[in-house]
Amino acid sequence: MRIFLIAALCLAVPPGFAQTSSPPSRLGLCAACHGETGQAHMPGVPNLAGQRLDYLRDALQQYRDGRRNVPVMRAAIGPLNDAELDALARWYSVQVAAPPQVRS
């Protein structure tokens, strides 16, 4: 019986599930430009949905340390700590990218 309970608990909470299932607490800081699901709302802002996790992490690190010196992004991530940036990178990496738009 005890083994059954432990197995049931393991199935109920798969590893990593908590990090990707609910939106990160700081998503509101990014969503105005990048959208909650990584489809950008504004011209000139990149879509992030489905981007590789390692690339997103690296890009955020580059804004943080100034290798990418883009004031709008440096200001956006200024108040965030590494764990918060990591949660945002994970969130955007698991979103499903929309099909490309046909432009005339």
Interaction site with ligand HEC (CB under 6 A)? 29-30, 32-34, 44-46, 48, 56, 59-60, 68, 70, 72-73, 76-77, 80, 88
With a CB cutoff of 8 Å and minimum separation 6, the contacts of 85 are 57, 60, 61, 64, 77
Q: Which residue is nearest to ligand HEC (CB)?
A: 30
Measure the CA–CA gap between 17 and 102, rounded to whole angstroms.
Answer: 35
CB of 99 vs ligand HEC, minimal distance in Å: 18
Identity of the residue, 49 or 73, whose beta carbon is nearer to ligand HEC in the bound complex: 73
Inter-residue contact 93 to 50 (CB < 8 Å): yes
CB of 10 to ligand HEC, least distance (A): 31
Rank residues 15 and 100 by Cβ distance to ligand HEC and give the closer one: 100
Q: How far apart are CA 42 and CA 104, in angstroms?
A: 19
